[in-house]
Amino acid sequence: MLLVGLTGGIASGKSLVTRVFRDLGAHIVDADKIVHELLAVGQGAYREVAARFGATVLAPDGSLDRRKIGDIVFNDPDQRAWLNACIHPRVFEAYQHQVRHIRDRDPNAVVVLDAALLIETGYHTKMDRVVVVSADEEQQLDRLMARDRFTRDQALARIRSQMPLSGKRAVANFVIDNRGTREATEHQAREVFERLRIEAMQRT
């Protein structure tokens, strides 16, 4: 089994690379999906976050409005630090649980943890390999504004709350350059995955 961390800046193209890896047989653990589950109504993390930020972050159905929470934490480092401390240990616990189940079923698995803040949390040190998807800041801005309908200021706040991509590239085993065409990115992803697959087989 090979544990791979997949990360990059927000809107740098991780989703595209994740799809390629999944199609080639990787087991994907999506940290953002885990966060959604943790913040579902009635969960412990939901209660803590709702108590911290109050009714202003609740949607009409009682669920948490992640966009409103984002507007708070991406402009307040102390609030962001609190939220990360609340959520990240739970995310990694859930990830470890999934890894145990995958190991039982597929000892040769390539398990990819898709996590935007993998390096910021220091959890990349627990990975066998780290893959960083890289793009220019202007490309990130354009994608965020188009995808999530953020204003430029909202998009910038989210991008600049994360470690610069140059810092992430510095600790990567593999960098996938997503500044070009979709086809070029997919080609790089296939090449990287083949190397990961071979290494996973060699570890058994």
Kindly report, residue by residue over 11-66, the tens digit of the pLDDT.
888 999 999 999 999 999 999 999 999 999 999 999 999 999 999 999 999 999 99
Site of tokens 């989210």 = 158
- DSSP characters over 51-62: HHH-GGGB-TTS
pLDDT of residue 204: 62
Tokens of 132: 């960083």
pLDDT of residue 119: 95
The SS3 assignment for 11 reads coil
- Which has the closest alpha carbon to 124: 183, 168, 78? 168
CATH number assigned to the domain covering 2-202? 3.40.50.300
> What is the average per-residue pLDDT within 135-151?
90
Tokens of 178: 């997503």
DSSP 164: P
At a CB cut-off of 8 Å and minimum separation 6, what does 141 contact? 11, 152, 155, 156, 159
Report yes or no: 102 and 1 within 8 Å, Cβ to Cβ. yes
Tokens of 181: 């065409």
pTM of the model: 0.90
Locate the domains of the chain by residue range: 2-202
